[in-house]
Amino acid sequence: MKISLSKILKDYLRDNYPYWVKKGAVEKWGQSFGYLGDNVARTCRKLQSEGYIEKKPSSTGKSIVYRFLTNSPIKDSEIIEETTSLEQKQTKILL
């Protein structure tokens, strides 16, 4: 079963909180799970509008950075755990 991109991105940004993550790094993370960069960008915009993440221009102003919002409406059932397999990235949803 393929995990939804929004769950993957929420988990990734939550794990990197309180740091800001560059848009390119977020896109590469989503692509490592088989999603296209355009889909990652669209999902980030959706997550921002839903109140899960925030975005701003980087300190140089040349790119965008994202960060998980600590007061976001995330549920425990949405947390994803990544397995430690080096050959492939497998995920499972914690119930």
For the chain, the structural domain boundaries read 5-93
Query: Residue 52 and residue 12: Cα distance in Å, rounded?
Result: 12
Regions of the chain short of the pLDDT cut 50? 76-95
Query: Residue 52 and residue 37: Cα distance in Å, rounded?
Result: 19
Query: Is there a contact between 43 and 15 (Cβ–Cβ < 8 Å)?
Result: no
- Residue 20 has what pLDDT? 93
Q: Which one is the CATH code of 5-93: 1.10.357.10, 2.40.50.140, 2.60.40.1510, 1.10.10.10? A: 1.10.10.10
Question: Which region holds residue 51: left if phi is over 0, alpha if psi is between -120 and 50, else beta?
Answer: left
Query: Residue 42 and residue 91: Cα distance in Å, rounded?
Result: 22
Q: Where are the beta strands (DSSP E) in the chain?
A: 21-22, 53-57, 64-68, 80-82, 91-93
User: How confident is the model over 57-83, as pLDDT tens digits?
Assistant: 988 888 999 999 987 655 544 444 444
- Residue 75 has what pLDDT? 52
- Residue 73 has what pLDDT? 57
- Residue 72 has what pLDDT? 60
The whole-model pTM stands at 0.70
